[in-house]
């Protein structure tokens, strides 16, 4: 493993993902505070349906965000 590897996190990615923070509460409420895949209610995260690297223009589009639990993510 390369010691320079940082898990695919880039400064641009961090900047783009910051746009999601203000949307978090609305997306959680929209999805009923439950994982879209299994219905679980613990350890929820916001997931980009289309990855940020593929569609940076959709980074803050609520339609491209889904609530999933950590195990499903």
**Taking the model in full, what pTM does it have?**
0.80
Please give the pLDDT value at position 68: 97
Least confidently predicted of 15-29, 31-45, 55-69: 15-29
pLDDT at 5: 76
pLDDT at position 13, please?
Answer: 74
d(CA 1, CA 12): 23
Question: What tens digit of pLDDT does each residue of 42-64 get?
Answer: 999 999 999 888 998 999 999 99
pLDDT confidence of residue 11: 81
Taking the C-alpha atoms of residue 25 and residue 49, their distance in angstroms, rounded to an integer, is 17
User: 37 is written with which tokens?
Assistant: 């895949």
- Tokens 């746009």 belong to 19
Closest CA to 65 of 15, 31, 14: 31
What torsion do the CA atoms of 51, 65, 7, 40 make, to the nearest 10 degrees?
-130
């Amino acid at each position: 493993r390369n010691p320079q590897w940082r898990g695919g996190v880039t400064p641009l990615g961090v900047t783009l993902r910051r746009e999601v923070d203000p949307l978090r509460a609305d997306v959680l409420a929209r999805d009923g505070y439950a994982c879209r895949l299994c219905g679980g209610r613990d350890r929820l995260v916001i997931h980009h349906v289309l990855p940020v690297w593929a569609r940076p223009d959709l980074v803050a589009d609520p339609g491209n965000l889904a609530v999933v639990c950590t195990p499903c993510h």
